[in-house]
A and B are shown apart, each in its own frame.
Chain A
Amino acid sequence: MKITADIIDPVAINGIGTSPLRKEDWPLVRGEGTFVADFKRPGMVHAFVVRSPLAHARFTSIDRTAVLASQGVLDVITAAELPDRGHKIPTRQFADEGSNRFLQRPLADGVVRYSGEPVAVVIADSRYRAEDAAELLDIDYERLEVVLEPDDAVAESAPLLQPDAGTNIAGRLLVEIGALDEAFAQADLVIKETFRIQRHAAVPLETRGLLAEYDTETESLTVWGAAKIPHVNRAILARMLGWSDESRVRMVELHVGGGFGARGEFYPEDFLIPFAAIRTGRPVAWVEDREENLRATNHSREQVHRVEMALKKDGTFLALKDSFINNTGAYVRTHGMTVPGLSVSMLPGPYKWPAYRGEFRSVVTNKTPGGTYRSPGRFEINFVRERLIDIAAHRLGIDTVDIRRRNLIDRASFPHDVGTLYDGHPVIYDSGDYELLLDKALAAFDYEGLKRWRREPATAGMRRGLGIGFFVEKAGPAEREYARVELNDRGDVVVYTGSASVGQGVETILAQVCVSHLGLPYDRVRVVHGDTAVIPEGMGAFGSRATMLGGAAVMRASEQLRKRLLDAAAEELEAAPADLMLTAAGVSVIGAPTRSVSLTNLLSASAGVITEEHRFVCDLLGFPYGIHFAAVEVDPASGAIHIHRYAVAYDIGRCVNPVLVGGQISGGFAQGIGGALLEEFSFDASGQPLSASFMDYLMPTSEEVPDVELLITEDAPSPLNPLGVKGAGEGGTAAVGAAIANAVSDALGTEVTRLPLSPQRVVELVGA
């Protein structure tokens, strides 16, 4: 991978700005990882979740008799077995007052609203037998009319998922900035277009799974397989169990096989499996299979945008107007209005808009419920906005780079208040120099060379095109994060963090931050995360927040610990703290190594261990930004898209580990390719999922993902945290749909208005 890193020289060995080998790898490459399915408890039994085969149906009875009599079966749980027939799973983010009417209960009770909705749980002595028994469950489904498409959901005659609510609209929001009508009145050109983004999802390679065990003596519950937000989910679980003391629940994160937004949210099973463990008195294991995973775990991205853009003929943007529908599926899950909320607040992107009006309606339909997926809400709107800009450039005869440059937010106007709000947080771009990044990227990626390539004749009827996608990402918050740094007298450091690992390398990153700010070697630092028994609080890992908030907390705790040690040593050695150096052996005076005090001595008063903790608080979001460049060749006969070159420039404020950032970009890019070209959850007219296997849900393989070139810059450190970091997890995904669609439009001379660019759609565009 070609990474150009235009970053500050590192100071500490293996500290910030360097790329030490990851702390996580050793067990994983040896096959010694402990993913949840690898973890076993004595007496463990297995759960299988029986799911609705229909997208919308009523049922009055479930006959459990035959299942209970089936070999190896211990229990069958339906809504009737749940206290109060099951409490609704609350939202944890961006609640809309209307959305409470659409929350999901752990088990369907009388009505199923999507194919894959849990209706019962079978507990048996093996997964095989649980599946055998589940086939005997007798349910008298009576079909109801389905509604699937976002536009249909808001139609007057639409079947209602929750008739009591009287609507399928689960949430809506309107944002208005500036004088829209005046702006449109002044326009030389108005572009009006409809854009559609298909339903697709995170689909981590490890499916979800849980193992829950109840200790009747201590009346406490342990849940292994937590991910992303263990502390948050502990609180939700305790509340749903009716336990006022949440410390009776211990959540333990094991190895996590990818998250990307979907894994680790609180799903029906996150209640059902612990509940089954309490009810049966046995450790209960549940591992989602792939067919369940594709029907039950959060989907994302399905939006229809109706947009208008007003411009002057010199290409100056005057106004942007968007009304879109977000299809959130059958229920509002834990993310509430997060996805459409991010879309509406971030559609303006890196540009100056004298006026903006954005409006969403988030609707329920008979499809799998939705949540976030890497670059949530932004993959969608970057496609919409960047396509719209290219359409305008084509109509005005302006170069697609020039039209963007003309409208970029000036470097002098940061922090830049967009004027929108995301879940109560003002969208204020904390720092940036967009034009500088554009210049650096054009040079680094030899854009002039790409333009020459674009003009050269292609072979065998292929058509060439270039596309760019400029984007602003967001990082953080969930306002706080916890860190504790502990040092013993042997020089071993343990960092406890409230952040979580989803495979992204958080142990390595936080260890590097500790190295830089405590000053002890990397190999002495161990990072502990994801166990609510040893970490008092934490907000987890999502929205590119782990480095920004978790990192800042570790930095502060490390500094505090260093200061305490040096202050103590200064007293002992009668020297100024600034003249001291800390090593794993102890503290000595710089230049006079014999004047030293050992850690054993320094820590003797505190039983050989000292600890510092810090809660880092930050109310505001950080906004990294970047540009994607795509150069494609399109085969108009087959519809195949060949990516000739792909490059990403990304300013992340400050780069803790260039190689890991490269990994995030490259991996995020691969997911973006899936979203741009391959992945789509399709349904038939009755709401049956047609993409419930990896034969039909097409994740990119190595053959579909070209190498990506990368330019990392640190020109705009975030003023919001002492590290200056902004989070780097999502920029690789954010503008892939935008850049590829722009390149394909350029190649074909036809405007792409929907994703994915399947071969059939490409061929249709050629004919259009």
Chain B
Amino acid sequence: MSRRIAVEINGRAVEGEVEPRLLLADFIRDNAGLTGTHLGCEHGVCGACTVQLDGHPVRSCLMFAVQAHGHRIATVEGMAPGDSSLHPLQQAFHECHALQCGFCTPGILMTMEAFLREEPDPTSERIRSALAGNLCRCTGYQNIITAVRLAADRLQNKGEAAVEAS
């Protein structure tokens, strides 16, 4: 028995007729067509599917789409302010070689974007701890921590919304 749901994703209203069992991650990927949110384990460990629900990072593989009805979702696709620019976190990831295969990157960006809103000036130790809910198999995490720190500096000092494409 399916249900009609309406979810706001990256500021856009997305409606769908879904089975209750449809995972939020699948709704985002298949119904909304936003495939930047990846499924890495489907049991809540790897963090690749992390999105923001009403501003807070959650595992989209551990929620059903029906539960998101009436809520606000943010995904990686909503981060960059435009086609030719990047969010400061994205730019810092690019500059610091904080990604290799890039599969885990969207989930990490969604976690870290919220983290920097809560803690705008974190130490490396705090970043390391906040990052622990996202697995990355390529980088060894070091460059990610550097990138988050760089983004924190830029977000604080410059307060600019985006870094233009280099």
Contact = CB atoms under 8 A, between A and B. Distances in A.
Contacts of B144: 702
A711 to B, nearest CB: 15
A98 interface: no
Nearest to A206: B103
Interface string B93-118: 11101011111111001000000000
B75 interface: yes
B94 A667 contact: no
Contacts of B22: 128
B35 A25 contact: no
A216 B72 CA distance: 45
Contacts of B137: 203-205, 258, 260, 667, 670-671, 699
Given A502-B101, A702-B144, A32 B77 contact: yes
B99 A29 contact: yes
Interface in B1-59: 19, 21-22, 29, 34-43, 45-46, 48
A663 B100 contact: yes
A659 B97 contact: yes
Contacts of A662: 97, 143
Contacts of A21: 94-95, 166
A722 interface: no
Given A663-B100, A702-B132, A206 B38 contact: yes
Given A31-B34, A38-B35, A663-B143, A258 B138 contact: yes
Contacts of A128: 19, 21-22
Interface in A624-675: 659-660, 662-663, 665-671
Interface in A195-229: 203-207
A503 B45 contact: no
A668 B100 CA distance: 12
A316 B25 CA distance: 60
A514 B145 CA distance: 32
A436 B34 CA distance: 52
A205 B100 contact: no
Contacts of B39: 37, 287
Nearest to A259: B101
B145 A258 contact: no
Contacts of A671: 137
B35 A37 contact: yes
Contacts of A660: 97
B138 A667 contact: yes
A605 interface: no
Given A29-B86, A38-B35, A205-B40, A666 B102 contact: no
A151 interface: no
A197 B103 CA distance: 29
Given A258-B100, A662-B97, A708-B140, A29 B105 contact: yes
Given A695-B43, A708-B140, A33 B132 contact: no
The contact size tier of chain A is 35 or more
A1 interface: yes
Interface string A277-290: 00000000001011
Q: Chain B: interface residue count, which band?
A: 35 or more
Given A30-B36, A32-B36, A703-B132, A25 B93 contact: yes
Contact of B99 (A25, A290, A705): A25
Contacts of A693: 41, 43, 45
Interface in A2-57: 19, 21-22, 24-26, 28-35, 37-38
A740 to B, nearest CB: 15
B77 A31 contact: yes
A220 B34 CA distance: 30
Given A667-B137, A667-B139, A28 B105 contact: yes
B142 interface: yes
Interface in B136-166: 136-146, 165-166
A255 B100 contact: no
A256 interface: yes
Contacts of A694: 41, 43, 45-46, 135
B80 interface: yes
A467 B103 CA distance: 34
B60 interface: no
Contact of A257 (B94, B103, B109, B134): B103
A504 B100 contact: yes
A426 interface: no
A732 B100 CA distance: 15
B87 to A, nearest CB: 8
Interface centre among A38, A502, A665, A695 (most CB of B within 10 A): A38
Contact of A30 (B19, B86, B135, B138): B86
Contact of B80 (A30, A256, A260, A667): A30
B89 to A, nearest CB: 8
B131 interface: yes
B43 A33 contact: no
A257 to B, nearest CB: 3
Contacts of B76: 30-31
A204 B101 contact: yes
B145 to A, nearest CB: 7
B156 to A, nearest CB: 21
Contacts of B145: 702
Interface in B56-76: 75-76
A717 B93 CA distance: 31
Nearest to A256: B101
Contacts of A702: 128-129, 131-132, 134, 136, 141, 144-145
Contact of A31 (B36, B42, B46, B165): B36
Contacts of A157: none
A670 B135 contact: no
A504 B146 CA distance: 19
* Most B Cβ at <10 Å: residue of A25, A503, A708, A732: A25
A505 interface: yes
Contacts of A665: 140
A669 B75 CA distance: 30
Contact of B106 (A26, A31, A37): A31
A667 B100 contact: yes
A38 B36 CA distance: 8
A400 B156 CA distance: 49
Contacts of A435: none
Given A33-B36, A35-B103, A290-B40, A205 B97 contact: no
Contacts of A699: 135, 137
Contacts of A666: 139-143
Nearest to B165: A26
A246 interface: no
A244 interface: no
A667 B135 CA distance: 12
A25 B79 CA distance: 15
A21 B99 CA distance: 11
B132 A35 contact: no
Interface of A: 1, 19, 21-22, 24-26, 28-35, 37-38, 128, 203-207, 255-258, 260, 287, 289-290, 502-505, 659-660, 662-663, 665-671, 693-695, 699, 701-703, 705, 707-708, 732
Given A29-B93, A670-B137, 13 more contacts: A1-B142, A28-B105, A29-B99, A31-B77, A37-B39, A255-B101, A255-B102, A256-B101, A505-B100, A659-B97, A663-B139, A669-B140, A707-B142
7 contacts: A25-B99, A25-B102, A28-B99, A204-B103, A289-B42, A695-B43, A708-B140
A-B pairs, top 6 by smallest CB distance, nearest first, are A31-B36, A503-B101, A28-B102, A257-B103, A31-B76, A666-B140
